[in-house]
Structure 1
Amino acid sequence: MYMQHEGRLAAKIMGIFCSVALSATLASCSGSKPSDSASSAGDTMTGISAEGKPGQKPKVTFKTPLDFKDKAHEVIQKGDGEVVQDGDRLCVQDLALDSKDGKEIYSTWEGGHADCAILVDKEEIPAYYDVFKGQRLNSTIAIGIKDETSGKTGNSNSQVPSSYIMAITLVSKSKELTRAKGDKVSDVPSDLPKVTLDDKGKPSLDLNGYHPGNKLVVQTLIKGKGAKVESSQTVRAHYTGWLASNGKQFDSSWDRGKPTPFGLNQVIKGWTQGLTGQTVGSQVLLVIPPNLGYGSQSNDKIPANSTLIFVIDIIAAY
């Protein structure tokens, strides 16, 4: 999609999956080729264990300093919940420990908010697909990280060590939506562009004689029953975009066959403002004036000062 920082706007933490960098977010790596990274999860660790009730914050112990190969892993606590299957979206709690002295350097357990960014899909997490698939919920998996680019955590001013252990506990799972799902909105203004959907859910647009103004238009077409989207989250969405001047499509995730993840703080303002507060499962029509889109910027598909129309299915938010 033609957004600021276009592409796989999933976070940096997947040096385990793409690049783990001590963050609360385990993001998708849908741009990676399985052959590029599948071998990185092949090494296992030894000498590390966990105690405590499965599904609660584990007490992780190991003899220090612990040496391991980068991205090596070990299941250190077997879970007692449902089996993780292909296509599940996992919510996890993270715990990071310095491999040199065993001290805790990061934890999401105290915040009460699980991170739901892991999609168990070969294209999304090629290196760790086989590690997660088949585990039971409440399992804890340790992954060793040697991070030469480590910086500061978001929680303190202390430096993140270059070698640490991520203990990831699988706390819940759900099946990701494939399209908007909820209640169809019945009172859509009649003067807006008309949207029709094909059998798979891809939208088509009829301008319906519409003449856009200079303000953002946000119209929910399907009201999803999921959680509200926050401006700080990453959203995974199916979308199609058209030029308001002539109704010509310039981009569509539907044509690529899969939803696209992006950070709401890294996209054009019209998306940030229009999707914040919407609910997961919703389908939203946005009419975005140039000042909230790309302004005077242009490319071969979007002329300068274009008003843009999007229909967006919110598949997930994390």
Structure 2
Amino acid sequence: MRRALAVLAAVPLMFFAAACGSDDGTGAAPATATASGAAASGLKVTGNVGAKPTVAFPAGSPATKSSYEVIQPGSGDGIKAGDRVIVNLTVWNWDGKGNAVQGSSYDTKAPETIPVNEQLPQVLQEGFTKVKHGGRLLAVLASDIEAQPQATSAEPTKVFVFDVVGTQPPALKVATGKETGESIKGVKVDNPGGEKAPTLTTKTDEKPSKELVVKTVIQGTGAKVQPNQMVTVHYTGKIWGSDQQFDSSWERGEPAEFPLNQVIQGWQQGLAGVPVGSRVVMSIPPEMGYGAQEQQGIPANSTLVFVVDVLGAY
């Protein structure tokens, strides 16, 4: 499920791809439907918001036109374009045969976060802005979405039920908190203050540690990063001893965003448990980085040094 949502940012059609299986859900009393936009092709959603729903499918062929329907409007804060909406979601393949459920965050017990932006299919961009926190949205994503240039193959019609849990606070622009005075011997981090990038210096005759070393430069006060979360960070990376820079999100002018469990081991272990808002400096030995494999701008068997601002996690 998380893999499907992670690639959604780059390839909206891949939102269709179910990445986990589950059993059919069980429902309670039917929810009151409030139609908004195109009707959802005769689908009937049952169950209470906050529990895994059930969908009854009409007879005949699957819908070929995407649509959404507000099942419960919710009574909390509204959702607007640009928000990161936190949802429990359940997805089905609508094939006119088994209409099998493909996955549900109610089974994994891990709500998902979806950016409401132009990279979402239009039907979801509009649908999410019609529900509030505590609401439920039904969406059909059909073949008419495949006109997008990113589409590479036909996918079956998908049915989603989204229960809105809330919205993710916007990512920070820079680390915020108290400087700790911590450092790694041989490495220097200068903190200019404001929203300016820190300066990392790794020119040293000191020998790097053979172990992962993580030091907190600025202590943030946000929630701790979890190993399976998406993270938003600003960073600069250099080679130990040479001060050779090989990457910097600061120089690109925008933070990076990625699933923490899909990057090098040094990042996975080094950032897990770090509070949002922190600035850390990490020394990563070769076996937790790129090992004996040369990368673009990174010699084989290099010890990597990063200064990282943890701006958000969801």
TM-score bucket of the superposed structures, by smaller chain: 0.7 to 0.9
Consecutive unaligned residues of structure 1, counting only runs of 5 or more, are 1-7, 25-41, 148-160
What letter corresponds to residue 165 of structure 2 in structure 1?
V
Q: 1:16 to 1:46 in 2, by over 3 A?
A: farther
**For the residues of structure 2 that align with 1:53 and 1:218, how far apart are their CA atoms?**
45
Q: Which moved more, 1:138-147 or 1:251-260?
A: 138-147
**For the residues of structure 1 that align with 2:65 and 2:261, how far apart are their CA atoms?**
31
C-alpha RMSD over aligned residues = 3.4
Counterparts of residues 104-253 of structure 1 (less than 5 Å): 104-109=101-106, 111-116=108-113, 118-122=114-118, 124-125=119-120, 127=122, 128-133=124-129, 135-145=131-141, 162-189=156-183, 191=185, 192-197=187-192, 199-207=194-202, 209=204, 211=206, 212-253=208-249
Q: TM-score, normalised by structure 2?
A: 0.73
Give identity over the alignment, percent: 33
Q: 1:304 to 1:110 in 2, by over 3 A?
A: closer
Higher helix proportion? 2
Contact 1:61 1:102 in 2 (8 A): no
**For the residues of structure 1 that align with 2:305 and 2:102, how far apart are their CA atoms?**
45
Q: Which moved more, 1:9-18 or 1:291-300?
A: 9-18
SS in 2 for 1:286: strand
- 2:82 maps to which residue? 87
SS in 2 for 1:87: coil
Deviation at 1:54, TM superposition (A): 5.2
270, 276, 281: which is aligned to 1:285?
281
247, 269, 273: which is aligned to 2:269?
273
- 2:312 maps to which residue? 316
Q: 1:317 to 1:20 in 2, by over 3 A?
A: farther
Contact 1:289 1:308 in 2 (8 A): yes
Q: Which moved more, 1:127-136 or 1:222-231?
A: 127-136
SS in 1 for 2:219: strand
- 2:28 maps to which residue? none
Contact 2:5 2:15 in 1 (8 A): no
Deviation at 1:190, TM superposition (A): 7.2
Deviation at 1:201, TM superposition (A): 4.1
**For the residues of structure 2 that align with 1:44 and 1:105, how far apart are their CA atoms?**
22
From the CA coordinates, give the structure whose radius of gyration is larger: 2
Q: 1:50 to 1:187 in 2, by over 3 A?
A: same
Contact 1:180 1:224 in 2 (8 A): no
Deviation at 1:286, TM superposition (A): 0.8
Q: Deviations over 1:120-155 (max 9, x none)?
A: 333x536443443454223322233469xxxxxxxx
Q: 1:66 to 1:256 in 2, by over 3 A?
A: farther
What letter corresponds to residue 84 of structure 1 in structure 2?
I
Deviation at 1:113, TM superposition (A): 3.1
SS in 2 for 1:19: helix
**For the residues of structure 2 that align with 1:9 and 1:57, how far apart are their CA atoms?**
19
43, 49, 62: which is aligned to 1:48?
43
SS in 2 for 1:272: helix
Contact 1:87 1:175 in 2 (8 A): no
- 2:150 maps to which residue? none
What letter corresponds to residue 115 of structure 1 in structure 2?
E
SS in 1 for 2:250: helix
